[in-house]
Chains A and B, each alone.
Chain A
Amino acid sequence: MSSIHAAPAVPEKLTWAGGSEPLKASYGKLMMWFFLLSDTFTFSALLVSYGMIRFSQPAWTGAHEKFYFATTHWPIPEKVFEAMPFFHGEAPLVFVGIMTFILIFSSVTMVLAVEAGHRGDRAAVEKWLLWTIIGGFTFLGSQAWEWSHFIAGPHDLAKAAKDALGNPIVGANLTENPYGPPAFADLFFFITGFHGTHVFSGVILIIMVFFNTATGLYDRRGHYEMVEKVGLYWHFVDLVWVFVFTFFYLV
């Protein structure tokens, strides 16, 4: 329970002796923690799959400047993700960097919402949840742009990888990929999509919590623990993105 709820004190040596919630962790928060532990394994399995397939494929061994897209070697991420909306020219990994910053910043606003909940300050909770929702939607929108850019393929068709007949591959999907081996596109769509689904569910949850806050449900209940629980989920989703980002854009 949060500090608002005054539970009778438990002598320290009886923390684990039953009759009380050890370390004052409510069942709801524990459940969220264990769910996140389990979800960690879901994502780990996907990222391990990425690693295994990635390293079973040939990497580009030539000079960085001479790199070209071909289905015979894994692409260099900077060459693939180099576009920015409203900007013509090369800006390798800038856009995804902004996306990542937005998502991490939405974690900060979530922390502020949780902190406001501890104080029981309904207006502040509403404000920070709203900022978090905006951050979440901005990230999802950016990801949609990133996807559509990836799906469209390189602007200059001459740069695209060639298929078995020597024709340039037009556009990326789950079976073809103008940037390199199809496995790259498969993994990219699946793992960032799976993460995006998590972000989307997170935003929906935060909207529900925002609604409950605005209607005064948590004030009547006497604590804002639900904000904390959804906050845990939101931080987890951000943390996972850091790993996804590392795997797809940096390695």
Chain B
Amino acid sequence: MATATLHANDTHAHGHDHEHEHHEPGFIRKYIFSEDHKTIAKQYLITGIIWAFFGGALSIIFRLQLGFPNMNLDWLKPVLGEWIVEGKLEKEFYLALVTMHGTIMVFFVLTAGLSGTFSNFLIPLQIGARDMASGFLNMLSYWFFFLSSVIMFASLFIETGPASGGWVIYPPLSALPQAMPGSGLGMTMWLTSMTFFIVSQLLGGVNYITTVINLRTRGMSFTKMPLTIWAFFFTAVLGLLSFPVLLSAALLLIFDRSFGTSFYLSEIYIGGEALPNVGGSAILYQHLFWFLGHPEVYIVLLPALGITSEVIATNARKPIFGYRAMIGSMMGITVLAFIVWAHHMFVTGMNPFLGSVFMFLTLIIAVPSAVKAFNYITTLWKGNIIFTPGMLFSIGLVSLFISGGVTGIILGNSALDINLHDTYFVVAHFHLVMGAASFFGLLAGVYHWFPKLFGRMMNNTLGYIHFWLTFAGVYCVFFPMHYIGIAGFPRRYYSFTALANNAQDTFADLNAFISIAAILTFAAQAIFAFNFFYSIFKGKKATQNPWNSNTLEWTTPIIVGHGNWEGEIPAVYRWPYDYSKPGSASDFIPQNVPFSATPESNLPEENEEIANEKEIEGLLAVQNDVYNH
């Protein structure tokens, strides 16, 4: 069994039954095909960062077209080659850029890069496990993701261009190779790549869920788990139940494209000629796609919210406000995520009555979301706030989550959606609430856990500059888009010529402003990249618990070895949010400090828990046994 290799450092309980595990793994096993969750997390993180720069760069290219439609782009010829035609961006390539920007950002950066990194890194460390339940499947998960990345990346360089039908790849556009160049080989590669991506997600998700259920250290009951772990747990459940539906949708689409079936195709004329396909339904694809697509929004967002809970409580030096309400609201979001998908389809000709049901369910999401927003604010309220870069990005997330969230109430309304669907208003909404907010969560996590990831600190000053440029930049880019959307600009258009009231001229300056802001914000990320890679090698050495945090990962050695803890895994006695507890001399009490050691700060009900401490410690033999068999 895979876990048999985990207890190499656990020399107290057992040590000599498996002679093969005492030599250090070679370079390949240690850094490339590693089964160690920390290495896999770093692989996900660095792959995600590389993808983020590619995804961002694509958006800058199409922002040039949108902000400066008359600009001569010949200087991009060395990079884009034939895609620049007479100084202009090729029209089909513009669609490819939009599609690949969405695909890369949603799946490769904010799904794999975010939950791949932090679920892998934090689940074993925060619940007190030596590694994931199955290190081997975990390794496979990364390498399936890598394979999918290579295929998607390769598709950027083929002659007919990558997939161009939007990240949602609706048929018939995506199903018929003759519909547009991007629906040829590019779309085939997109589907192949996504199939591997789904396999990777399922392998990861099964592992995360099982690890949380089975490998918590003694005393770490579900109600003592950090909110980060709760968030990763719900994220994994969401992915596990929604990605298989995308797999089905993609397989049916592959058959429609390559084997002549008509699952999604019916009664289509191309160039005046009727295609033989009858009997399928394009709406069917949309239902299947959005059954994944909507939970995907929360797959992207929940880990960021979990990270924020942890970072805000630590740096406000206050217990998280409403711990159980936070769990409940995440659970509510998880359930609701599965029953609101058709709000993406209000104007597809769906039965309006069905639309009103989905509208009602959609608007209910405002309740758990508001609970979370209020809880963040009340945690900050009268806190002894320490503005680390991680904290700034977390507060930034709360701001973006609120300002992007309120427009969700508008868009969730099926009547208003008739006007607003597929405009820049939608683009503004989801970039703030899901794109930028999740991105901020990712950055907060990197700044906060960098000392644990690499044993060194990132530079704070560069972190502050990065934060303020990004925060101001994100608002400058996405806030004006609301106005552009209300003015009637449709998304995914190459250029605008005939909008009502000549809006294309009136808003030309605002579009240029957005593009300049986007370029500056993108450029600011170079500060982060420098800070990140420089600090890995040259950063200031970290201390064991630089943020005076309560969770278990800070009880491991500064450079965490294989198996995470030298000697026994610590037991857990209290929740992770005992910050600034009245009566306590220290302003934080880590989870592994028993109540019997802190009589001065215990609440009455906590004094009663002292009696259970012996029993919890008594589970050590059972816990060691879990790693033995």
A82 within 8 A of B: no
A86 within 8 A of B: no
CB proximity of B61 to chain A, nearest CB, Å:
35
Bound complex: CA A28 to CA B616 (Å) = 25
**Nearest chain B residue, comparing its CB with the CB of A27:** B133
In the complex the two chains form, is B220's CB within 8 Å of A49's CB?
Answer: no
In the complex the two chains form, is A45's CB within 8 Å of B245's CB?
Answer: yes
Given the interface pairs A18-B221, A186-B262, the reply to whether A42 lies near B209 with Cβ below 8 Å is no
**Nearest chain B residue, comparing its CB with the CB of A74:** B279
In the complex the two chains form, is B206's CB within 8 Å of A38's CB?
Answer: yes
Interface residues of A in 9-46 (CB under 8 A from B): 10-11, 14, 16-22, 25-28, 30-31, 34-35, 37-39, 41-42, 44-46
A175 within 8 A of B: yes
In the complex the two chains form, is B241's CB within 8 Å of A16's CB?
Answer: no
CB proximity of B572 to chain A, nearest CB, Å:
7
CB proximity of A125 to chain B, nearest CB, Å:
19
- Most A CB contacts (10 A, CB to CB) among B210, B260, B615 go to B210
Bound complex: CA A52 to CA B243 (Å) = 20
- Most B CB contacts (10 A, CB to CB) among A22, A57, A186 go to A186
B365 within 8 A of A: no
Given the interface pairs A19-B216, A31-B133, the reply to whether A53 lies near B240 with Cβ below 8 Å is no
B148 within 8 A of A: no
In the complex the two chains form, is A46's CB within 8 Å of B260's CB?
Answer: no
A7 within 8 A of B: yes
Contact of B625 among A7, A44, A187 (CB under 8 A): A7
- The number of residues on chain A lying at the interface, defined by a beta carbon within 8 Å of a beta carbon of chain B, is 45
A5 within 8 A of B: yes
Residues of B within 8 A of A183 (CB): 262-263, 278-280
Residues of B within 8 A of A27 (CB): 3, 133-134, 210-211, 214-215
The 10 closest A-B pairs by CB, nearest first: A19-B218, A19-B619, A18-B216, A18-B220, A45-B248, A183-B279, A27-B133, A42-B244, A186-B261, A19-B623
Given the interface pairs A7-B625, A18-B219, the reply to whether A42 lies near B276 with Cβ below 8 Å is no
Q: List 30 A-B contacts (CB under 8 A).
A: A7-B629, A14-B619, A16-B222, A18-B217, A21-B626, A27-B211, A30-B210, A31-B207, A37-B240, A38-B205, A38-B240, A38-B244, A41-B242, A42-B244, A42-B247, A45-B245, A45-B248, A45-B249, A46-B248, A49-B252, A52-B281, A53-B279, A174-B259, A174-B261, A175-B260, A175-B276, A181-B278, A186-B262, A190-B261, A194-B251
In the complex the two chains form, is B222's CB within 8 Å of A5's CB?
Answer: no
Residues of A within 8 A of B276 (CB): 175
CB proximity of B486 to chain A, nearest CB, Å:
35
Bound complex: CA A26 to CA B134 (Å) = 11
In the complex the two chains form, is A19's CB within 8 Å of B261's CB?
Answer: no
Contact of A45 among B259, B262, B291, B619 (CB under 8 A): B291
Bound complex: CA A67 to CA B207 (Å) = 52
In the complex the two chains form, is A49's CB within 8 Å of B263's CB?
Answer: yes
Bound complex: CA A5 to CA B336 (Å) = 41
**Nearest chain A residue, comparing its CB with the CB of B219:** A18
**13 other A-B residue contacts (CB within 8 Å) besides A11-B615, A190-B252:** A8-B621, A14-B619, A19-B219, A19-B616, A20-B619, A27-B133, A35-B206, A38-B206, A49-B252, A53-B280, A175-B262, A175-B276, A181-B279
In the complex the two chains form, is B629's CB within 8 Å of A1's CB?
Answer: yes
Bound complex: CA A13 to CA B260 (Å) = 58
B537 within 8 A of A: no
Q: Binary interface profile of A, 111-128, with partner B (CB < 8 Å = 1, else 0)?
A: 000000000000000000
- Most A CB contacts (10 A, CB to CB) among B219, B280, B291, B572 go to B280
In the complex the two chains form, is B245's CB within 8 Å of A20's CB?
Answer: no
Q: Binary interface profile of B, 236-279, with partner A (CB < 8 Å = 1, else 0)?
A: 00001111110111011001000111110000000000001011
CB proximity of A233 to chain B, nearest CB, Å:
13
Bound complex: CA A18 to CA B241 (Å) = 25
B284 within 8 A of A: yes
B1 within 8 A of A: yes
In the complex the two chains form, is A14's CB within 8 Å of B210's CB?
Answer: no
**Nearest chain A residue, comparing its CB with the CB of B259:** A174
A182 within 8 A of B: yes
In the complex the two chains form, is A17's CB within 8 Å of B214's CB?
Answer: no
Chain B residues at the A interface, C-beta cutoff of 8 Å = 1, 3, 127-128, 133-134, 137, 202, 205-207, 209-211, 213-222, 224, 240-245, 247-249, 251-252, 255, 259-263, 276, 278-281, 284, 287-288, 291, 571-572, 615-616, 619-623, 625-626, 629
Bound complex: CA A131 to CA B265 (Å) = 44
Residues of B within 8 A of A41 (CB): 241-242, 244-245
Looking at chain B's contact residues, the main secondary structure is: helix
In the complex the two chains form, is A5's CB within 8 Å of B629's CB?
Answer: yes
Bound complex: CA A37 to CA B205 (Å) = 12
A61 within 8 A of B: no
Residues of A within 8 A of B261 (CB): 174-175, 182, 186, 190
Residues of B within 8 A of A19 (CB): 216-220, 571, 616, 619-620, 622-623, 626
**Nearest chain B residue, comparing its CB with the CB of A223:** B629
Bound complex: CA A17 to CA B626 (Å) = 14
**Nearest chain A residue, comparing its CB with the CB of B129:** A18
A56 within 8 A of B: yes
Residues of A within 8 A of B1 (CB): 28
Bound complex: CA A25 to CA B626 (Å) = 11
In the complex the two chains form, is A38's CB within 8 Å of B202's CB?
Answer: yes
In the complex the two chains form, is A22's CB within 8 Å of B247's CB?
Answer: no
Bound complex: CA A42 to CA B572 (Å) = 39
Contact of B240 among A18, A22, A34, A174 (CB under 8 A): A34
Bound complex: CA A57 to CA B279 (Å) = 7
- Most B CB contacts (10 A, CB to CB) among A1, A11, A174, A187 go to A174
Bound complex: CA A183 to CA B255 (Å) = 12
In the complex the two chains form, is B221's CB within 8 Å of A42's CB?
Answer: no
Residues of B within 8 A of A186 (CB): 255, 261-263, 279
CB proximity of A228 to chain B, nearest CB, Å:
14
CB proximity of A41 to chain B, nearest CB, Å:
4
CB proximity of B476 to chain A, nearest CB, Å:
41
Bound complex: CA A181 to CA B262 (Å) = 10
Residues of A within 8 A of B220 (CB): 17-19
Bound complex: CA A10 to CA B625 (Å) = 12
Given the interface pairs A53-B280, A174-B255, A186-B262, the reply to whether A14 lies near B244 with Cβ below 8 Å is no
Bound complex: CA A34 to CA B241 (Å) = 9
In the complex the two chains form, is A31's CB within 8 Å of B623's CB?
Answer: no
Given the interface pairs A31-B210, A181-B278, the reply to whether A17 lies near B616 with Cβ below 8 Å is yes
Bound complex: CA A186 to CA B265 (Å) = 12
Residues of A within 8 A of B287 (CB): 52
In the complex the two chains form, is A53's CB within 8 Å of B620's CB?
Answer: no
CB proximity of A11 to chain B, nearest CB, Å:
6
CB proximity of A145 to chain B, nearest CB, Å:
22
Residues of B within 8 A of A194 (CB): 251
Residues of A within 8 A of B214 (CB): 21-22, 25-27, 30
Given the interface pairs A38-B202, A52-B281, A186-B255, the reply to whether A20 lies near B221 with Cβ below 8 Å is no
Residues of A within 8 A of B278 (CB): 181-183
Residues of B within 8 A of A5 (CB): 629
Bound complex: CA A173 to CA B252 (Å) = 16
